[in-house]
Amino acid sequence: MLPKEFTDRMKKILGTEFDAFLASYDEVPNGGLRANPLKIHGAELEKLVPFELEEVTWCKGGYYYPKDARPGKTPFHDAGLFYMQEPSAMLPASLLDAKPGEIVLDLCAAPGGKSTQIAGAMQGEGLLIANEPYPARAKILSQNIERLGVKNAVVTSAYPDKLAERFPNFFDKIMVDAPCSGEGMFRKDPATISEWSEDNVKMCANRQWEILQSAYKMLKGGGRLVYSTCTFAREEDEEIVNRLINELGMRLVDEKVYRIWPHKDRGEGHFAALLEKSGEHCVTNVPQGINEECAEFSAFMAETLNTPVGGNIFRVRAELYAAPIAPSAFTGIQVVRNGVHIGTVKKNRFEPAHALALASRREDVKRTFELMDEQVVSYLKGETLPCNGVGGWTLVTYKGYPLGWGKVSGGILKNHYPKGLRWM
């Protein structure tokens, strides 16, 4: 049952369209996924997956999948070839239009749909900071960044005002997909209905304005910001945009806001606006660190890799990372992930991390093991496999796409697929 206060308001907004809007709640929500351009093009994904895909009009590489399909239960999901995402949620990052080499912030980033979409557009060049204040959600965000093989992202867990102190006038573009009252998700997630109230709408609007003031401080002059919500409430949408224009002097690009309606479009309710900050655009120098020497890792690279690992190489105890920005840039900020976790130094040897496999291409590694159709589930379950290849660390692939590591010895591929990710 939808709240009466909500339906009364929607009747006033929609008029003769209200009945169609109400009827849309009896329809099954659309399932969506988005190809990961860091690994695969949409046309290739269409041929690869065992079900039909239909394009989402507002997102290149975004698709609807059939209601009986289970994309998350395919090896291609584990390989990070796509991200499962509600179709309407693909609009804001499309509007942001991030470019390679830019410095971009996703301020309220968990679980990672918009961050990974932005990362795909950046093609590994530039810097993406994906922030989530709540540690448990930041961990999920970090896992999705890893699965999709993103190299140039830093995952932080800080409140917006804290980030604003550290990074004033720093970002070319900022995504603010703000916490909201969730009205647009009533069909997909009925539990949100019980949490709704008019007081909650007002509380969300106040919180959104606080978040946006911090975002504004971090945006460069001439920089662009996308503000988005999954609610219909004008207090959280148009009225917030008006405050950005009237109180902070921002400009609404193309002089319009964007809405997706469940009775008009194939998606849940969504709102988005693209705004630009006045002032002259400046160039930001991203702090670079000095690569730390590690004999064990150097030996591993020489023996195993065709392509050297780039970035700022730094070590935290036994763990080695390749970062897009020097760790010193985040003094006082909790960093969950800085770039790619390369691996672990263990008693004069080096063990590569799963993240390094997912951030690699098949041609980056000297030894690969291509799984047959009948072997892929066994590998994902953590089982050993017969292998006649040369001994040593080997990149395990399926249909040419990396899934993880194995180590060959005595005609056996020892499975190094992480225990926490293994199929049951």
Out of 204, 230, 294, 387, the active site residue is: 230
Is the domain defined by 366-424 classed in CATH 2.30.130.60? Answer: yes
Please compute, for residue 359, the number of CA atoms within 13 A of its CA located in the half-sphere on the CB side: 30
- Give the C-alpha separation, 114 to 100, whole Å: 16
Q: How confident is the model at residue 14 (pLDDT cuts 50, 70, 90)?
A: very high
Q: According to the model, what pLDDT value does residue 298 have?
A: 95
Strand pairing class (153-156; 368-370): unpaired
pLDDT category at 188 given cuts 50, 70, 90 is: very high
Place of tokens 């609807």: 64
Q: In this predicted structure, which of 74-88, 141-155, 283-297, 299-313 has the lowest mean pLDDT? A: 283-297
pLDDT confidence of residue 122: 98
pLDDT digit string (tens) for 282-315?
888 898 988 898 999 999 999 999 999 988 999 9
88-276 and 366-424: identical CATH topology: no
Helix axes 135-147, 113-122, angle to 10 degrees: 40
pLDDT at 389 over 90: no
Extents of the domains making up the chain: 88-276, 287-360, 366-424
- Higher-pLDDT residue of 273 and 292 is 273
* pTM for the predicted model, two decimal places: 0.97
Q: Are 211 and 160 in contact (CB under 8 A)?
A: yes
Tokens of 375: 């072997």
* Residue 281 confidence (pLDDT): 87
4 DSSP β-pair partners? none
Active site residue 59: no
Q: Which range (211-215, 278-282, 394-398, 404-408) has the least confidence?
A: 278-282
Peptide bond into 111 cis (omega under 30): yes
What span, in angstroms and rounded, lies between the C-alpha atoms of 178 and 407?
44
Between CA 409 and CA 405 the distance in angstroms is 13
Predicted confidence at residue 285, as pLDDT, reads: 87
What does the pLDDT look like over 33-52, one tens digit per residue?
Answer: 999 999 999 999 999 999 99
Q: Are 248 and 210 in contact (CB under 8 A)?
A: no
Helix (H, G, I), strand (E, B) or coil at 117: helix
Least Cα distance to 141 among 117, 100, 177, 112 occurs for 112
> Which tokens is 412 given?
């056996």
Instruction: Write down the pLDDT at residue 194.
Output: 94
Q: What is the pLDDT of residues 190-245, one digit of tens each?
A: 999 999 999 999 999 999 999 999 999 999 999 999 999 999 999 999 999 999 99
Architecture of the domain made up of 88-276: 3-Layer(aba) Sandwich (3.40)
**If pLDDT is split at 50, 70 and 90, which confidence band does 326 have?**
very high
